[in-house]
Amino acid sequence: MFRVVVYAEGAGELAGRDTSRQRAPGAPLTEVELGAAHLLVRRCLEHSRGLPREVIRFEEPLRSRGKLARGSMLHSHDTLQQLLTWPDEERMPHLAMVLVDADGKAEERQAGLDAALQGLTVEAVASVAIQEFEAWLIADSEAVKSVLRKPLSPPKPPERLGRREAKELLQQWSEQHASKQEPAELRRQLAEQCALDTVARVCPAFAEFLRRLGPAHG
């Protein structure tokens, strides 16, 4: 079993269909508890490392002072070091993934994440979405059409959209064309159906995300 934890800035990236239960750190997540980020990471691990999806198991991540890490907490060097240090190595996952939004500061954010990940025992990969995770979800127009039942595409390449534009565009499309479905479920469907090669072609930051999730070094 290949055990993975995912940290992401927004609740939307990690929200699955079942949010009723609080999980202890290290607890395995069920399929319905996986959010769009989990599903996309799993597909990327299948693509980049050749791992069968049935061997990839997501687990509840560690907390910071008892709280799930969200937003700017993931920009802190000290917080990331704490979240990625397992006192009991037997409970340490095989991979820890940290995913944050650029918000116009892609190079600065990536440099800060890379510095925070130095010297860790766990294999940890950090990636910055430009400008936000939703840009990757709407990058494949065929997947968007399949999920929302409408031919839709952003007004410019996804990673050229301004801060929050991709997030707001996806919300707008969802309200107009799929208002009866839960936003988390729409995100899950987009993460499952988007063509990875297409997203990598139109979103260089996603191509870098795929590269970083490639075979482990060392």
One DSSP character per residue, 121-164 reads: SS-EEEEEESS-HHHHHTS-HHHHHHHHSS----SS-GGGS-TT
Q: What is the pLDDT of residue 75?
A: 94
Mean pLDDT of 146-158: 96
Predicted local confidence at residue 94, as pLDDT? 97
Span 181-190, average pLDDT: 95
Report the Cα 176 to chain-centroid distance in Å.
25
At residue 2, does pLDDT exceed 90? Answer: yes
Contacts of 50 (CB under 8 A, 6+ apart): none
* pLDDT at residue 199 tops 60: yes
* Residue range 27-36, pLDDT digits in tens: 999 999 999 9
Which residues are CB-contacts of 169 (< 8 A; sequence separation ≥ 6)? 134, 138, 154, 161
- Mean confidence (pLDDT) of the chain: 93
Determine the average pLDDT of the residues in 7-28. Answer: 83
Per-residue model confidence (pLDDT) at position 117: 95
* Alpha carbons 174 and 168: distance in angstroms, whole number: 10
Of the chain, the percentage scoring pLDDT greater than 70 comes to 96
Residues in contact with 35: Cβ distance below 8 Å, sequence separation at least 6, in sequence order: 8, 12, 13, 14, 15, 16, 184, 187, 188
Q: Give pLDDT, residue 18.
A: 66
Q: With beta carbons less than 8 A apart as the criterion, state whether 148 and 173 touch.
A: yes
pLDDT above 90 coverage of the chain, percent: 86
What tokens appear for 118 in the block? 């130095």
Q: Report pLDDT for 21.
A: 67
- Give the integer Cα–Cα distance in Å for 162 and 166: 8
Q: Check if the beta carbon of residue 56 is closer than 8 Å to that of residue 31.
A: no
- Residue 218 pLDDT level (bands cut at 50, 70, 90): very low
The pLDDT of residue 67: 84
**Structure-block tokens of residue 22:** 């609080």
For residue 163, what are its two tokens? 């801060």
| Six-digit token string for 114 | 């890379």
Q: Omega into 131 within 30° of 0, i.e. cis?
A: yes
